[in-house]
Amino acid sequence: MMLDHALACVEQGWAVFPLVPNTKRPLTPNGFKDASKSVFAVRKWWTAHPDANIGLATGEVSGIAVIDVDVKGGAKGRESLSSLNGLPPTLTVTTPSGGWHLYYLCPQGGLRSRNGALPGIDLKADGGYVVAPGSVIDGKPYEYQDAEEHIASLPEQIIEALGRSMNGSHPAPAPPVGETIIEGGRNSTLASLAGTMRRRGADADAITAALKVTNAKRCRPPLPDEEVETISASIARYPPESSAPNANGNEPSATDSEAEVMPPGFTDDALALDFTERHAEGWRFVAGWGHWLQWEGTRWAKETTLKAFDNARMICREAAARCLKPKIAAKVASASTVAAVERMARADRRHAATIDQWDTDPWLFDTQGGVVMLRTSEETI
């Protein structure tokens, strides 16, 4: 049972590690530093310790920051939470003591944890962890208020109110000019920069040139040129969007109802089609087996590291980076949208496959080096 909850976290792209049963204490030697997104590691941990609670490493490793609200023993978390004006609704977990964990997207550039950010409130981000949903203490569970709620972005004013301590000076889709872009934020940051340029009318060549300069000067370590070119080409496929000031000199605005209407290019279906356009040749999903297969050059291999989910997350991050409406951008980048995109892609006829397609000749044996014909012992590629 606890294993299922841990795997559900991994499916969201969150890194987890085991906690001592019925406690918040790490079961592994290095605590949250041992957190993993590997299905193999998670199965190994919870097979050995089936009753272990689940620790969820916060910050860039999982892409989330959590506002931990404590009301136990007279703690003033409820009052402090009420003082945070402009806090958007988001995925929320109720804790056994009656408090809440509010999950938000972790700002690009990093966000450090801070205990006692406000009376009764801790900020859990880089260098921290929370107890994940499904865990139990004294018979009381950590559980979602609404498991379908999307994860919102953490507004600037809220980070400031919590006494932000970030790697950079301003949270934004991309770090300030000149700031080092560390591993874990390179792809999304470059995608954000590319999205900004594309909205202003830059073509693929201009975007590629700018990203390569930024990559060389600011990314540590730099990404391969091929990966930078892939990011540029992906963003450049979309039409530029106008963001010119209106007659009053103000930025264009939309009513709340307009802001919540998902533009055609940002729907789950559109993003799933984008997934398939990029990955149709090298990915198959076998519903009968319940997993993806990836082409490795010589054979189709079972994919066990949630790379398909990560591919979907990259598509959603790129889409959010080019979206001009904050509410829609937050929805597009949410874990629920990423999961929906990956699920919808499974059903696309270019990915869908049946079990019997993979073993049509019992005398052929698949190996890492190629296919062996058992009748003749002949190996082919």
Q: Does 95 share its domain with 206? A: no
DSSP helix/strand/coil, 63: coil
Q: Does 17 share its domain with 127? A: yes
β-strand partners of 16:
36, 56
What pLDDT was estimated at residue 262? 59
CB 312 within 8 A of CB 341: yes
pLDDT one-digit tens code per residue, 333-374: 888 889 889 989 998 889 988 887 776 666 767 676 666 777
CA-closest candidate to residue 95, choices 59, 121, 119, 126: 121
What pLDDT was estimated at residue 283? 94
What pLDDT was estimated at residue 379? 62
What pLDDT was estimated at residue 16? 95
What pLDDT was estimated at residue 374? 74
Residue 241 pLDDT grade (very low, low, confident, very high; cuts 50, 70, 90): low
Q: Does 291 share its domain with 329? A: yes
Q: Is residue 48 part of a domain?
A: yes
Kindly give the residue spans of alpha helices, DSSP state H, lying in 219-358: 225-236, 256-259, 268-279, 307-322, 326-332, 335-347
Total tally of structural domains belonging to the chain: 3
Q: Does 208 share its domain with 140? A: no
Instruction: Copy the structure tokens of residue 149.
Output: 């709620």
Angle ∠(260,264,266) on CA atoms, nearest 5: 70
Q: Is residue 255 part of a domain?
A: no
Q: Does 221 share its domain with 325? A: no
pLDDT one-digit tens code per residue, 303-323: 888 889 989 988 888 888 777
Q: Does 53 share its domain with 188? A: no
Separation CA 103–CA 145 (nearest Å): 12
The parent domain of residue 357 ranges over: 264-381
Count how many residues are written for the chain: 381
Q: Is residue 249 part of a domain?
A: no
What pLDDT was estimated at residue 67? 94
Q: Does 311 share its domain with 367? A: yes
Instruction: Copy the structure tokens of residue 60.
Output: 């860039």
Separation CA 273–CA 349 (nearest Å): 11
pLDDT one-digit tens code per residue, 180-214: 776 556 776 787 788 778 877 888 888 898 889 88
Within a 13 Å sphere around the CA of 333, how many CA atoms are in the beta-carbon half?
29
Q: Does 232 share its domain with 124? A: no
DSSP helix/strand/coil, 166: strand
Instruction: Copy the structure tokens of residue 321.
Output: 């980076």
Q: Does 23 share its domain with 124? A: yes
Give the end-to-end CA distance of the chain in Å, rounded to a whole number. Answer: 42
β-strand partners of 173:
none
List all residues 6 or more positions away from 58 whose beta carbon is below 8 Å from its beta carbon.
Answer: 64, 65, 66, 106, 113, 124, 125, 126, 128, 129, 130
pLDDT one-digit tens code per residue, 97-106: 999 999 998 8
pLDDT one-digit tens code per residue, 59-115: 988 889 999 999 988 889 999 988 887 788 899 999 999 999 999 988 876 788 888
For residue 34, pLDDT beyond 50: yes
For residue 244, pLDDT beyond 60: no
Q: Is residue 250 part of a domain?
A: no
Q: Does 17 share its domain with 110? A: yes
Q: Does 107 share its domain with 235? A: no
What pLDDT was estimated at residue 285? 92
Helix (H) or strand (E) holding 17: strand 16-19
Q: Does 238 share its domain with 348? A: no
For residue 246, pLDDT beyond 60: no
- Over range 231-243, report the average pLDDT: 68
